[in-house]
Amino acid sequence: MLSYDKLKDKPREFLAATGFTLAEFERLLPVCQTAYEHQYPPELTYEGKTRQRSPGGGTKGTLVNFADQLLFMLVYPKTNPLQVMHGLQCTLSQSQANSWIHRLLPVLQHALRAMGQAPERDAQRGETSALALAGAPNLAVDGTERRRQRPRDASTQKEHYSGKKKTHTDKNILLINEHTGKVVYLGPTLPGKTHDKKAVDETPVTYRMNTTLDKDSGFQGYEPEGMLTTQPQKSPKAKSSQ
């Protein structure tokens, strides 16, 4: 079973599984516990009803330790497994895994916001984000895709089919602070077929003046006002060998 006790002494595996170092995890843990108690007061059930017996009574679940609950939640978005597979890693059924994910995700989001580590979701507030203001104004913009279940509707299938990934995907635009490596802005979830430049054109991001913005060929022609954009170019030698 995947557990905090088994992973905490394996720093490389811990980072690969969660995207957090052990020190970062331990800073996040008490904030998440506070957020959890706020979201789910101990005197109430998960449905918000008054408890008929003391907290902790009844059958003990698999994820009793809060460190294991947080580990469970962090592994899910980092590795993007099927819920069935994620449940198998933690000796849970698919329905139990689904329930835990929906229970813990709002807690994690609240904790990250409380720590000032949650990416901005409003494109018009990108220039004032504390994550963007850390260090010199050097940012990178990129589109990221992740696999999703194939939609049943034929037209929706077509929109989510990514020619690049050769599968059905969802896409988000990310803005990254190149000094800290942290995601400053997370764009809305779009069908995987959406072109990167079209996505940023439809939801224009605001930037500090004189910001340097790194981009790839997917953002060809994207030139926000007052910005210095840089884009890698193929060397003449590479071109001549084609």
**DSSP one-letter code for 149:** P
- Are the beta carbons of 123 and 141 closer than 8 angstroms? no
**CA–CA separation, 8 and 22 (whole Å):** 7
List alpha helices for 40-93, DSSP H.
66-79, 83-89
**CA–CA separation, 209 and 121 (whole Å):** 20
Neighbours of 163 (CB within 10 A): 7
pLDDT tens profile 84-105: 999 999 999 999 999 999 999 9
Residues 7-17 as b/e (b if ≥16 CB within 10 A, e otherwise) read beeeeeebbeb
Distance of CA 126 to the CA centre of its chain: 17
**CA–CA separation, 7 and 12 (whole Å):** 9
> pTM of the predicted model, to two decimals?
0.77
Q: How does strand 161-162 pair with strand 228-230?
A: unpaired
**CA–CA separation, 193 and 137 (whole Å):** 30
Domain ranges of the chain: 4-53+64-114, 123-233
- Are the beta carbons of 216 and 142 closer than 8 angstroms? yes
What's the confidence (pLDDT) of residue 59? 61
What's the confidence (pLDDT) of residue 242? 55
**CA–CA separation, 223 and 1 (whole Å):** 49
Residues facing residue 146 across a β-bridge: 170
- Name residues whose C-beta falls within 8 Å of residue 28's C-beta, 6 or more positions apart in sequence: 20, 70, 111, 112, 115
* Lookup: tokens for 18: 């969660």
* Lookup: tokens for 175: 């803005």
- Helix (H), strand (E) counts: the chain: 10, 7
What's the confidence (pLDDT) of residue 231? 87
List of the chain residues with pLDDT < 70: 46, 52-61, 234-242
Tell me the CA distances in angstroms from 73 to 3, 26, 52, 95, 221, one per residue in order: 12, 14, 28, 15, 38
* Diameter over CA atoms, the chain: 76
- Are the beta carbons of 156 and 218 closer than 8 angstroms? no
